[in-house]
Structure 1
Amino acid sequence: MSAIRRHSHPAIVETVRRQVTTLDHLYSGMLSRPVVDLARRLAGTLPAPLERSCS
């Protein structure tokens, strides 16, 4: 959901424009490969015995 109505700072507009072209996550019920890969990479940074997270 977007909450940036009526704001048009050039840096924000450019960031949103750039990110929209590479959307990887649209709905939590359907995970994309980049989201799963990122989750695995993040989990790999956790100290033992932690190996997963939940949202």
Structure 2
Amino acid sequence: MIEFAQKQKGPLAVDVNEQNPQACRFYEAQGFVTYDRSELDSSGRPFPLLHMRQPGAP
């Protein structure tokens, strides 16, 4: 699925719940790196997010 999205959009960026280490490891294995962190999710709830992207993503 990631390869399909890359072909359509180019390098990708995702937000991953920091409390989900399996998801973090999955995206790291796909070449994503953490470039920022937020204490709150997009709804303002206290669920820290890691902002990850592939090299070349905006």
Of Structure 1 and Structure 2, the greater strand share is in 2
Q: One fold, TM greater than 0.5?
A: no
Larger Rg: 1
Give TM-score scaled by structure 1 length.
Answer: 0.25
Give TM-score scaled by structure 2 length.
Answer: 0.25
Higher relative contact order (CA 8 A, sep 6+): 2
Of Structure 1 and Structure 2, the greater helix share is in 1
